Amino acid sequence: MTPWVLRLIVANVAVFFLQQTAPLINQMFVLVPALGLVRPWSFVTYMFLHGGLGHIFFNMLSLFFFGPRLESRLGGRAFLGLYFASGIMGAVLSIPFTPYAPIIGASGAVYGVMLGYAMFWPRDQILIWGIVPVEARFLIVAMTALSLFGGFSPSSGGIAHFAHLGGFVGGYLFIKLMRRGSGAAKFRKQATTITRKIETPAGSLDRWRRIKRDGLHEVNRDELDRILDKISAGGIGSLTAGEREFLDRFSAR
């Protein structure tokens, strides 16, 4: 088990036992979405409270199965960021839909972890109840559908469906933002730039000629025709830096 998964499980279990000896803990740290501005700590503390043994067992079991591999992939700091971003987004999404319903549980945060797992390993087989194999991506789709149905049904059965959906949203946004700023994304961008710099004249010309004229504004179509005619007359060497930039910009679309 990875360090932060272990710490989160220990923290949740410890708080659960504290709830049994000091019930006032629930009143102090429960999330009531509409009161979030006057109780801002509850956007975080509600994640460590649980309503019963089954509630905490299944949340921690899911964290145990999906968390370690994801933490190893992301690193401890990013994994913790994903966990809390998902849980907080679960609280935020509950504001417009269930503003006065008290919410407790790590489900939103755990749902974000599950989504993160499915984003990195979408075809992994997950055994439901240890029997039925389902690919991770299809499991997330099914859970999303069930949460939507439960959230908009007349009776939610005391389940914070919108906190679950918010966990998915928070996890997705966190990973997307993390990927955008990652070293791998920057490397791909630099590699593309370098590839274009060493591209042969014939390769550049072929790429420029594939520009779709129909999608261009009339002014840009005329400019494209003028530049291509110039290449036909004087070759690629006759182009100015601005003309090359024009062709590169539209060929990259």
Which residues participate in catalysis according to the annotation?
A: 107, 164
C-alpha pair distances (Å), 183 with each of 58, 190, 197, 248: 35, 10, 21, 24
Q: How many residues does the chain have?
A: 253
Residue 22 CA to residue 214 CA, distance in Å, equals: 70
H helix or E strand, kind and range, residue 253:
none
Cβ contacts of residue 54 below 8 Å, gap of 6+?
Answer: none
Are 49 and 25 in contact by the 8 Å Cβ rule? The answer is yes
Q: Which of 183, 174, 204, 8 is nearest to 90 (CA)?
A: 174
DSSP string, 24-77: HHHHHH-B-GGGTTT-TTHHHHGGG--SSHHHHHHHHHHHHHHHHHHHHHH-HH
Residue 82 CA to residue 45 CA, distance in Å, equals: 16
The CA-based angle 21-24-28, given to 5 degrees, is: 135
